[in-house]
Amino acid sequence: MSRFRKIILFGVGGFVALNVLVAASLYLFVDTDAYRSRFEETASKISNMEVSVDGRLKTGFFPGVHVTLGDVHIRDRGVVVASVKEARLEIALIPLLRREVRIRSIALKHSMISVERDREGNFNFEKPDAAGAASSDLKVAKISLSDATFFYSDKQSGQEYEAGNCDLFLRGLRFSRGNAPFSLKNLSFTGALTCGEIRIDDFAASDLKIDAEGKNGIFDFKPVTMRIFGAQGSGSIRADFSGAEPLYHLRYSLPQFRIEEFIKRLSPQQVVEGTMDFSMDLSMRGKTVNEVKRSMKGQGALQGENLTLIGRNLDEELNRYESSQNFNLVDVGAFFFAGPVGLALTKGYNFASLFQGEGGSTEIRELVSDWKVERGMAQAQDAAMATDENRIALRGRLDFVNERFDDLVVAVIDARGCPKVTQTMHGAFREPVVENPSILKTLTGPVSEVFMKAKDLVTDGECEVFYDGSVSAPQ
């Protein structure tokens, strides 16, 4: 027999002998029923929840020492917050020979995780009353989840999130609690998450991809990419829990998204088409939703060109009194609201008349909606759109803290930026008060005559300029 073949046979024999030793160790030192109880007890202590293994428990030694658990459930006060169809735990060999169980990696298949934040701002995995519990440190080299589903419910804001068909991979997970209650300051990891589909309230997105890193209470999620409204968006999130209160910084851009995909949540019929660009850069701080709102600052922007409003000819309606008598400028302002502040506003106000046209269409050659956010208030910086014959502009503020319109005014303006017709909206987001259009409500006759009479009301042909932004007047 050649030397090479002897080496091969010796290696194979040694590998078999080692596996036999490992198998013997498992059967001698790891009683499956005892390990089931030990696992349930240890996991329950670490999570401060009730952990149970309701399925089969199997041990194996190829390709390494491992334990497979079936139907694992984690309950919080009797409510299931997580479940796993199959959990596979790889165990370090040498400590096992000393009757110590150290987990090297965890692989979870077909799992469901539900996170809830109550009205006081506490998460269902946080247990403040556990401060006196024994210390439990956790270190796992690798954790993977395949075909996972995540649920998140925030009782403070009323928002719900769901993500399905997700794969998660974490490296170097470390959690050191000591004698203190759960704290994100003691959690560190690096990892990546992908999800096939995401639903946030009424919005649906797909192809979510996130790279993440957390250490010393600071978590960076960068990049964050997903497909929404027919376009690919990207951004980043930083959450800093290292100080006395959490700090957040959010950046996101969504170039060339389909506005008709967004409007679907407002109307089942197609009323507008075209592409737009959206971006935002916001920072905030606080432990509660209200604190976060009050600290919010940054900017948001929405821009588009060559959009088509289907079913309404705004220029024609603005030139005919019969339809203009009931013409709602605020509804036209829905275009401005659809960007940085769309979610907050469209929940509260039904832009009905915008979707009930008399036929025809309107070409919107340019639309700009730039907002500055400070102390929870969004101020319109440059918000206007131009059709072939008219310009419509918006100014005012949106109070996110108190969820109110702060005298938001929409106006038809002339070439100088002077208002021809104005309409104001104020009050709560959910029940706003929309004033009648000025001048149009008191005069009869064609709108062109109304504009002439309105001009006569202005001393020396001068006016207070309503808009001087970037959207130019029609030629």
Inside any domain, residue 107: yes
Inside any domain, residue 209: no
Question: Are 189 and 242 members of one domain?
Answer: no
Question: Are 340 and 197 members of one domain?
Answer: no
Question: Are 277 and 350 members of one domain?
Answer: yes
- How confident is the model at residue 23, as a pLDDT? 44
Residue 184 contacts residue 217 (beta carbons within 8 Å): yes
Give the residue numbers spanning the domain of 361. 234-475
Residues 6+ apart with CB under 8 A from 470: 368, 382, 384
Using 50, 70 and 90 to split pLDDT, how confident is the model at 373? very high
Residue 72 contacts residue 50 (beta carbons within 8 Å): no
Q: How many domains does the chain have?
A: 2
Residue 46 contacts residue 3 (beta carbons within 8 Å): no
Question: Are 255 and 194 members of one domain?
Answer: no
What pTM, to 2 d.p., does this model score? Answer: 0.77
Inside any domain, residue 27: no
Question: Are 376 and 441 members of one domain?
Answer: yes
Using 50, 70 and 90 to split pLDDT, how confident is the model at 436? confident
Residue 202 contacts residue 227 (beta carbons within 8 Å): no
Give pLDDT tens digits for 114-141: 888 777 767 776 655 544 444 556 778 8
Question: Are 360 and 457 members of one domain?
Answer: yes
- How confident is the model at residue 441, as a pLDDT? 32
CA dihedral 98, 101, 102, 108 (to 10 degrees): 150
What are the phi and psi torsion angles at 146 (to 5°)?
A: -125, 140
Q: What is the mean pLDDT of the chain?
A: 78
- How confident is the model at residue 63, as a pLDDT? 65
Which of these three, 182, 201, 220, is where a domain ends? 201
Inside any domain, residue 211: no
Mean pLDDT for the stretch of residues 224-240: 95
Question: Are 295 and 386 members of one domain?
Answer: yes
Inside any domain, residue 206: no
Question: Are 168 and 258 members of one domain?
Answer: no
- How confident is the model at residue 351, as a pLDDT? 58
Inside any domain, residue 263: yes
Inside any domain, residue 18: no
Question: Are 109 and 242 members of one domain?
Answer: no
**Most confident of the following: 1-15, 146-160, 172-186, 219-233:** 219-233
Question: Are 342 and 396 members of one domain?
Answer: yes
Which of these three, 185, 201, 217, is where a domain ends? 201
Inside any domain, residue 2: no
Question: Are 253 and 127 members of one domain?
Answer: no
Mean pLDDT for the stretch of residues 8-18: 40
Alpha carbon distance 393, 471 (integer Å)? 9
Question: Are 166 and 246 members of one domain?
Answer: no
What b/e sequence results for 180-215 when a residue is b if at least 16 CB atoms lie within 10 Å of its CB, and e otherwise?
Answer: eebebebbbbebebebebbeeeeeebeebebebebe
What's the distance, CA 166 to chain centroid?
16
Give pLDDT tens digits for 461-473: 578 899 999 999 9
